[in-house]
Chains A and B, each alone.
Chain A
Amino acid sequence: MIVLGIIGGYIALLLCLGLFSSRLFKGTSKDFMLASHSIGPFMLLMSLFGTTMTAFALVGSTGEAYVEGAGVYGLLASSSGIIHSLCFFILGVKLWSLGKKYGYTTQIQYFRDRLQSDKIGVLLFPVLVGMVIPYLLIGVMASGTFINAVTRGTFEAGTFPGFLEEGMNGGVPKSVASLIICVVVLIYVFFGGMRGTAWANTFQTCVFMVLGVVTFYVIAMKLGGEETLMASLRKASAAVDADKLTRMHMSKTQFATYFFVPLSVGMFPHLFQHWLTAKSANSFKLPVVAHPFFIMIVWCPCILIGLWASTDLINLPPPIANNPNAILPFMVNKLNGPVMTGLLSAGVLAAIMSSLDSQFLCLGTMFTEDIVVHYGGKGRYSEKQTIMIARAFIIAIVAVVYAFSLFEPRRVFTLGIWCFSGYASLFPLVFASLYWKKLTKAGAYAAVITCAASWVYLFRESGFGSNEKFTVDFKIGGAVYDTMPVMSMFFLTAIVMIVVSLVTPKPTEETLQRFFPEKSTT
């Protein structure tokens, strides 16, 4: 009950923060969606980092390290350190500048303007929203699993209706826990808009980074059982099987092609919106520099905890051992007292909620700006009505995601990779739109259709994510090279975009002048 009380207290604190930030809300849709371009370097760093570090980074990485070993860090964390900052640097700053100049709020507004195509939104909107659903699902699913695992043994049988109690083991039922988290995030997003989201993200990122380090310390000390931290760390790591310390069971080509996955950051609609909140281009400097280092601080402890969970030092009951998503909550619960477990759980939930909030807000923004206002007419709805429509759409999407979360669960890591792969395959489009004058409207349409078609085809081939080892294999000279599906999708999209752009009419001179102005060389 103490654990539940602390989680409840944390949620109450978060709601208070949302209410407080709503007092600064200016009542305009621009403030709701972009915090009136007022976010400085520190808050931009924390909100970008908090948004990219999801349940995937904490729950997913720990579970994956437990299954696959220490190589998981190289698969995604170190590559993300290079690629995420690269995207902030080469895409974020430039898009911020264009957004400020031409008043964009969403990605689709930018593409409409750059490609001089009114209909690109009709094509891009369902693709972007469709691909964000697995991403939302990760957070909703993981929050339910986490709260259930850390509250096991709190309730007696019969506390909840029978259909909720199946497999809950005396904890808060997963479906109830997921629902509570969705409602909490919805409330503070609705009250505070982008400003509330940025504040909550900053607060929650501080919480999960500090508590993450504390979790690591406590688990290492308890598991190692030695007097000093160093001795405990050594004892815990010495117990790990040699094959988990290496990448001997990982394919080298698969490892190399994982590098395409972090390119997704370039096309995440919620990150685009965060980029536009920046006060100035210089606000990006801190996120660009600190992001790889912050990733290291969060991922390393998770990888080590996942490795230690695979040792004889801890006895995992079969339901936990067979569910990688439950490894981190089990370790937290097993190796800490109730107060620490409550605090550490709040930290993990902070990471999950700090991503959900941006995604919720972005969905609402896209629907109102790109569909309702654009096709319904600009003066048709008042500011208040626009915000209400945004909120209604967010609730509808969250209801769909919540319904999906009640079905058969997938590994958080696998689901995350599929979602990121889709966005990463659209990277050539955003890159070309900023740096290639010859990108045409037809080329962009062809790119989006190719990306969506190849994603649906390969996702279906993988049994909708149920085949966790799914790869695209190439036979060259008798040898088989297994690669991540993202590589094929990325190159297919890029090639189709380039070929179609080269054979279709070029953008107008006026468009090129607006997006590629001549610069003085002095």
Chain B
Amino acid sequence: MSNHLKLKQGRLIIAGLVILLIILHQDNWNWNNSNLVFGFIPVTLFYHMCISFSASVIWFMATRIAWPDDVEDEALSELSEKGGDA
């Protein structure tokens, strides 16, 4: 598979995961739950801490499978054509 196709596939996966996370963020099922996780963290807070943690994991995946490496090359090639720092 070409790099371009791999990147496209990676970006689709990340886009899908981000959309899923946005949907999961609206946790209507926890709305009236007053339980405490570990005896001190409200469920609503704990759930959203998990959302934050999942966001970090998804963004880590994004840096591995969907990172636009060509952006760096583009900037550098344009600079070398100009012959110096922008």
Q: Which of A236-244, A418-426, A441-449, A504-512 touches B?
A: A236-244
Give the number of chain A interface residues (Cβ < 8 Å).
62
- Chain A: CB-nearest residue to B14: A89
Q: Using a Cβ–Cβ cut-off of 8 Å, how many residues does chain B contribute to the interface with A?
A: 49
The answer, yes or no, to whether A296 is at the interface (CB within 8 Å) is yes
Within 8 Å by CB of B48, from A74, A96, A97, lies A74
Assembly CA distance A79 to B44 (angstroms): 14
On chain B, the residues within 8 Å of A300 by CB distance are 45, 49
Known pairs A101-B75, A248-B32; A77 contacts B48 (CB<8 A): yes
- Does B12 sit at the interface, judged by CB under 8 A? no
User: Are B32 and A246 touching (Cβ within 8 A)?
Assistant: yes
Is A496 in contact with chain B by the CB < 8 A criterion? Answer: no
Least CB distance, B30 to chain A, in whole angstroms? 8
User: For residue A248, which residues in chain B have a CB less than 8 angstroms away from its CB?
Assistant: 31-32
Task: Determine the chain A residues whose CB is within 8 A of the CB of B2 once the complex forms.
Answer: 521-522
Bound: A23/B60 CA distance, A: 36
State A290–B18 Cα separation when bound (angstroms): 16
A289 to B30, CA, bound (A): 27
Interface residues of B in 63-81 (CB under 8 A from A): 63, 67-72, 74-75, 78-79
Query: Are A73 and B49 interface neighbours, CB within 8 A?
Result: yes
**Closest Cβ–Cβ distance, residue B15 to chain A (whole Å):** 10
A237 to B5 CA separation, bound complex (whole angstroms):
51
Partner of B25 from A74, A96, A103 at Cβ < 8 Å: A74
Whether A288 contacts B36 by the Cβ 8 Å rule is no
Chain A, Cβ-Cβ closest to B39 = A234
Contacts of B86 in A (CB 8 A): 99-103
Nearest-CB distance from B72 to chain A (Å)?
4
Number of A-B contacts (CB under 8 A): 155
- A385 contacts B by Cβ under 8 Å: no
Partner of A74, one of B27, B33, B34: B27
Contact (Cβ within 8 A) A82 B21: yes
In the complex, A107 Cα to B70 Cα: how many Å? Answer: 22
Question: Interface majority SS on B: helix, strand, loop or mixed?
Answer: helix
For the complex, what is the distance from the CA of A45 to the CA of B43, rounded to whole Å? 30
Structural contact, A79 and B36, CB atoms closer than 8 A: no
Given contacts A236-B40, A295-B52, contact A78 B25 (CB under 8 A): yes
| A86 lies within 8 A of B18 (CB) | yes
Asked if A259 and B68 make an inter-chain contact with CB atoms under 8 angstroms apart, the answer reads no
CA distance A290 to B57 in the complex (A): 9
**B28-56 near A? 1/0 per residue, CB < 8 Å:** 10111111101111111101110111011
Contact A74 B44 (CB under 8 A): yes
B4 to chain A, nearest CB (A): 5
**A245 contacts the other chain (Cβ, under 8 Å)?**
yes
Query: Is A252 positioned at the interface, with any CB of B under 8 Å from its CB?
Result: yes
Residues of B near A93 (CB, < 8 A) are 68, 71
Evaluate contact between A292 and B55: CB separation under 8 angstroms.
Answer: yes
A281 within 8 A of B: yes
| B39:A81 contact, CB within 8 angstroms | no
Our pick among A240, A288, A519 for the contact of B63 (Cβ within 8 Å) is A288
Residue from B28, B42, B52, B53 within 8 A of A70 (CB atoms): B42
Closest 5 CB pairs of A and B: A103-B86, A292-B55, A233-B40, A78-B48, A237-B40
**Residues in chain B within 8 A of chain A (CB atoms):** 2-4, 18, 21-22, 25-28, 30-36, 38-45, 47-49, 51-53, 55-56, 59-60, 62-63, 67-72, 74-75, 78-79, 85-86
A-B contacts, 24 of them at CB < 8 A, read A70-B44, A71-B44, A73-B45, A74-B44, A74-B45, A81-B55, A94-B68, A96-B71, A97-B72, A98-B75, A100-B75, A102-B86, A238-B40, A242-B34, A245-B34, A246-B32, A246-B33, A246-B44, A247-B44, A252-B26, A290-B56, A292-B52, A300-B49, A517-B74
